[in-house]
Amino acid sequence: MDKTQEIMQQVRRIEMQARKIATATFAGQYRSSFRGQGLDFDDFREYLPGDEPRFIDWKVTARTGTPYVRKFHEEREQVLLLAVDASASMRYAGGASADSKLEYAARMAAVLAYSAVQNGDKIGLLLFGCHPHFYLPPAKGMKQCLRIVREILSAPASGGDDSMEEVAAEILRTQRKSAMCFLMSDFLTKADKKAIGKLNFRHELIPVRINDPYELELPAAGRFYAEDPETGIQYEVNSSDTALRAAHSKAMMAHMVEWDRTFTQLGIDALSLRTNQDFVTDLRKLFNRRSRLFAR
């Protein structure tokens, strides 16, 4: 079986799973969870207690000396943008999971895209961390949904992590209208509060961090040669060394905590997932949290 046939089989299998999950689990939750999306700028008005701080326009506020917020009107049609990291590190699949991080992202992207299709919304795709980057403008329908899954699975396996500044700039350049933006990555790049803040200011941003358990905690598997997927450099690892495993876990945890702090400071609701766990439960909890938020 050639690579194209293999990918198409994966697409069809993922499509069937996504259709079932989206219909049985997320019917009705999707739109109520993102009711604040699809907004166009209307006018300014003075800030009132209870207004979203992120809608404060600081230029107008500085000019007038009084806090002002931007008013929006809601469009009938919404846009879901899936920004997916396709860098070499996303190809990693440890022994704990049959899926690579990229395949895991493709399955979750399919569920989100199918939910959008059911609600008549447009879905777009940006693949970063690969060369060349790929942008698929938002469009409706199952054909678009299936193409998104196919493009994720067939993304070129070349390229390292882009800086978050580069990723944010490309999303803002390609998707100018306000959108629901799911940013799916292992976030192994440096935390960047400024870049994430800019992205969250324009779009309703949901970061989805995807990790493999084996990259967070090394198994005690003796000596082996490991290869950096983004540089090709090989080095010997003695995973029986308790101190080495502890230092690795500590470094990975510190990196994750730095990203978590960034999301918390910006008031962003992020998901942290592992490839050996089903994402459906966490995604349902996200939808429920946001439904309650917009129901207030």
What pLDDT score does 293 carry? 66
Query: Is residue 204 located within the same domain as residue 93?
Result: yes
Q: Is the pLDDT of residue 14 over 70?
A: yes
Confidence of residue 126 (pLDDT cuts 50, 70, 90): very high
Average pLDDT over every residue of 250-277: 93
> Where a domain ends, among 51, 73, 95?
73
Digit-coded pLDDT (tens) for 199-236: 999 999 999 999 998 887 777 666 665 666 556 667 66
Query: Is residue 219 located within the same domain as residue 145?
Result: yes
Query: Is residue 121 located within the same domain as residue 15?
Result: yes
Task: Return mean pLDDT, the chain.
Answer: 84
Enclosing domain of residue 243: 3-38+75-295
d(C-alpha 290, C-alpha 195), whole Å: 23
Query: Is residue 93 located within the same domain as residue 164?
Result: yes
Confidence of residue 37 (pLDDT cuts 50, 70, 90): very low
Into how many domains does the chain fold?
2
Q: Taking Cα atoms as reference points, which of 292, 282, 225, 215 lies closest to residue 249?
A: 215
Least confident of 47-51, 95-99, 114-118: 95-99
What pLDDT score does 95 carry? 65
> Where a domain ends, among 29, 48, 73?
73
C-beta separation of 141 from 117 below 8 A:
yes
Query: Is residue 156 located within the same domain as residue 242?
Result: yes
Query: Is residue 51 located within the same domain as residue 121?
Result: no
What pLDDT score does 93 carry? 84
Q: Over pLDDT 70: what percentage of the chain?
A: 82
For residue 107, count CB atoms less than 10 angstroms from its CB and return exposed for 0-12, middle for 13-18, buried for 19 or more.
buried
Query: Is residue 65 located within the same domain as residue 171?
Result: no
Query: Is residue 169 located within the same domain as residue 66?
Result: no
Average pLDDT over every residue of 34-50: 67
Both structure tokens of 268: 């962003």
Query: Is residue 44 located within the same domain as residue 190?
Result: no
Digit-coded pLDDT (tens) for 143-182: 999 999 999 999 988 777 889 999 999 999 999 888 999 9
Q: Is the pLDDT of residue 184 over 70?
A: yes
Q: Is the pLDDT of residue 69 over 90?
A: no
More confident site: 130 or 98: 130
C-beta separation of 155 from 176 below 8 A:
no
What pLDDT score does 262 carry? 97
Task: Supply the CATH number for residue 103's domain.
Answer: 3.40.50.410
Least confident of 27-31, 107-111, 145-149, 251-255: 27-31
Query: Is residue 9 located within the same domain as residue 52?
Result: no
Query: Is residue 58 located within the same domain as residue 87?
Result: no
What pLDDT score does 195 carry? 96
Query: Is residue 96 located within the same domain as residue 142?
Result: yes
For residue 101, count CB atoms less than 10 angstroms from its CB and return exposed for 0-12, middle for 13-18, buried for 19 or more.
buried
Least confident of 40-49, 54-63, 230-239: 230-239
Q: Is the pLDDT of residue 25 over 80?
A: no
C-beta separation of 124 from 138 below 8 A:
yes
